[in-house]
Structure 1
Amino acid sequence: MVRPVLVVLFDGVQSLDVSGPLEVFAGAGHATPDHVPYPLTTASLDGRPVRTQSGLRLAPDIPLAAAEVEHTLLVPGGEGTRHPDPALVEWLRTHGPRAERLMAVCTGSLLLAAAGLLDGRRATTHWAFCDRLSRLRPAVEVDPDPIFVRDGPVATSAGVTAGIDLALALVEEDHGRETALAIARHLVVFLRRPGNQAQFSAQLAAQTARREPLRELQQFITEHPAADLSVEALAARARLSPRHFARAFRAETGTTPGRYVDRVRLEHARRLLEDTTDGVQEVARAAGYGTAEAMRRAFAKALDTAPAEYRRRFHAPLPAH
């Protein structure tokens, strides 16, 4: 089946939001040489070249007025989404519903939201703009954590490289795992990071400590989630009193030792559930929870689901639209 992809271009677009997914869709043609599964077309409002936020000039194929919205409409992000051209928003409002599949990369979600195309749907965007998306369109259920979200025919993703992950997921859905794997190998990327993977790790979510002993301690926590990571044990490793350690850790990372450990353990458990067939009890021990019940409580509190259900959702196929 042929699924034409139309990419909207505008001044201030993020070039990687355009080129990343396009390389994936174009790669499907090499992986399935008997046909071109994703004919690609780029279009700007007036058909003239646009300047990306990095200064690169992109020449569209056609003006939007001449574009046919046949299957997938891809809306990239970039600085140009902050104060978009009203004519572009109106074009999306009018023509977006005609697409069988809407795909927004990064702050392209802001354009879809401005056009009313995300109302009543779950969506995401770059973590730094999730609050803005919520304020722009309260009718959108904004999830700031995943790298991409699929809600029916609408797919939204986090920043830049997440657009590649989403495109690979769509190719896998359309043409199977082997085709997506061939593209991923060619691009030297993961076959597909799961959509529910967090936009950034515990280490990135927290600030990096200025002092070397605390930086080393952050690394130790990440590499040894099953160790004794109580405040007392960590303080002894940092050669500080528990009280001094807790104050210093929070001052330098922006979070408490306990919350940092909780996030690392949850992240590690999620990765094991996603990437291995280890039993829940085995995962609980490896992630530092000790018991399956303790891990179940942590998942219920943070993710509103149980570990077994989390694994089932991860391994379930993407819903068809």
Structure 2
Amino acid sequence: MKRIKVGMLVFPGFQLLDIAGPRDAFAEVKILSKGECEYEMLTVGTTRGAVQSSSGLSTMPDRTIFDVCPEFDTIIVPGGLGIFDAFDDPALSGWLRTQHRQCRRVSAICNGLFALGAAGLLDNKVVTTHWMDVPRLAATFPKAKIEPDHIFVQDGNIYTTAGVTAGIDLSLAMIEDDFGRQMALDVAKYLIVYLRRAGGQSQFSPLLETQASPGSQMIALQQFMLDNLHVDHTVASLAERVHMSARNLSRLFAKECRITPMTFLANARIDAARRFLEATDLSLRDIAQRCGFEDTDGFRRTFHRRLQINPADYRDRFRSKKPLAEKKKSGAPRAESRVSATVSNSAMRDPR
């Protein structure tokens, strides 16, 4: 039997799902392998006695950071509001540094990586966390290289994830590394989740933070681009539409939307392509044409460069079971064509 020891840290106010999700995923390996493979999981508390999670449920740790622990292969640090009271505890930092020297993998879910940062484990490391905690993370650990829009990131033996349910994505990635893709697929099927979202998949639509103010010329221009993604736009053609110079348009658009018009257009095309892949059976050629890509090969290259996954694999992982019938002949799906709405539910990629 191949057995892998996993230590799961718990502290007052930890997020229960950050531990329960990976624990359930790991537990299925023994069942599905009929006992040939197993994760041996122990909880390790930062305090003695029962530890209450942020939801109010409590757990009694198997060990504490003050006890002798077995030699773990993998450490998982959950997130939760309690991390901000616990992360800079010198005893915890010392324990994590020791585990980092001894373990094959040290991982943090959501804002659990603040504990890794306090232990000095994030310096010059590429990491991610829940998008709401990115500003605080950058201010607290300026040496960390933050990817704010990723589901999970691996840099050496340090693994970090976005919020809550991203811990299941991470655990499935670890199962695939440890026991192969088929085992990860079997576990995912049993849990009724995706095999795993690509680590580079966006936590949310790239249009969320670049919406212009309601009623402005720029939001009208954004809407025009969204409704006409298939058109070969240029800064000059867009400027002509709003009756201003290309230079003035670029200045105003960047001031109000914090990106250039062409970057917004590129983001919108990728976002629409994702929606088509998730919700329709359109061919890659048709999607490329509707979203304004020069050809199918160019679409594949751009999509892979942005999301670290090719369009066909993205569709396999994220497509709805019953793709929507396509009635509109051009442009993006209607649910995605209104910038004035915050973002439709399907546009949101739950960071948790």
Per the normalisation by structure 2, the TM-score is 0.68
- 1:21 aligns with 22
Shift of 1:253: 9.3
Alignment map for 1:191-270 (pairs within 5 Å): 191-202=195-206, 204-205=208-209, 225-226=229-230, 261-269=265-273
What is the CA deviation profile of residues 12-33 of structure 1, one whole-angstrom value per residue up to 9, with x for unaligned ones? 1111111111111111112211
Change (3 A) 1:177 1:115: same
Distance 1:308 1:134, change over 3 A: closer
TM-score (norm 1): 0.74
**Most deviating of 284-293 and 32-41:** 284-293
In structure 1, distance between residues paired with 2:297 and 2:270: 14
Match of 2:105 in 1: 101
Cα deviation, residue 183, structure 1: 1.2
CA contact (8 A) 1:203 1:218 kept: no
Quote how far apart the aligned CAs of 1:72 are.
0.4
Kept in 2, the 8 Å contact 1:273–1:311? The answer is no
Counterparts in 2 of 1:101 and 1:293: CA distance versus 1, 3 Å: closer
Distance 2:307 2:269 in 1: 16
* SS of match in other structure, 2:3: coil
Match of 2:155 in 1: 151
Matched, 1:89 2:93: yes
- What's the offset of the Cα at 1:310? 6.2
Partner of 1:130: 134
User: Greater shift after overlay, 180-189 or 45-54?
Assistant: 45-54
Structure 1 unmatched ranges of 5 or more: 235-240, 316-321
The equivalent of 2:35 in structure 1 is 34
CA contact 2:200–2:307 (8 Å) conserved in 1:
no
Question: Structure 2: which 5+ residue stretches go unaligned?
Answer: 244-248, 315-352
Would the aligned equivalents of 2:202 and 2:307 in 1 still touch at CA under 8 Å?
A: no
Task: Letter of the 2:201 partner, please give it.
Answer: Q
**Percent identity (aligned):** 37
Q: Check if 1:62 corresponds to 2:29.
A: no
Name the CA distance, whole Å, in 2 between partners of 1:152 and 1:72.
Answer: 13
Once the 2 structures are TM-superposed, how far is the Cα of residue 147 of structure 1 from its aligned partner? 0.5
Aligned length: 298
Amino acid across the alignment from 2:80: G
What amino acid sits opposite 1:71 in the alignment?
Answer: D
The DSSP-based 3-state class of the residue aligned with 1:2 is strand
The letter of the residue matching 1:202 is: P
Asked whether the equivalents of residues 148 and 156 of structure 1 are also in contact (C-alpha less than 8 Å), the reply is yes
1:289 to 290, 293, 297: 293
Displacement after TM superposition at 1:306 (Å):
5.1
1:99 and 1:223 mapped to 2: Cα distance? 51
Q: State whether structure 2 residue 124 is matched by structure 1 residue 120.
A: yes
Relative to structure 1, the CA distance from residue 284 to residue 35 in structure 2 (aligned partners, 3 Å threshold; closer, same or farther) is same
Matches of 1:171 and 1:224 in 2, distance apart? 43
**1:41-77 Cα shifts (integer Å, max 9, x gaps):** 0010234111112222122122222322420001111
Aligned to 1:3, the other structure's residue is in SS state: strand
- Alpha-carbon RMSD across the aligned residues, in angstroms, is 4.4
Displacement of 1:292 after TM fit?
6.8
Q: Given the alignment of the two structures, is residue 77 of structure 1 paired with residue 79 of structure 2, yes or no? A: yes
**Partner Cα separation in structure 2 for residue 208 and residue 4 of structure 1:** 50
**1:60–1:227 Cα change, 3 Å:** farther
| Equivalent residue, structure 2, for 1:3 | 4
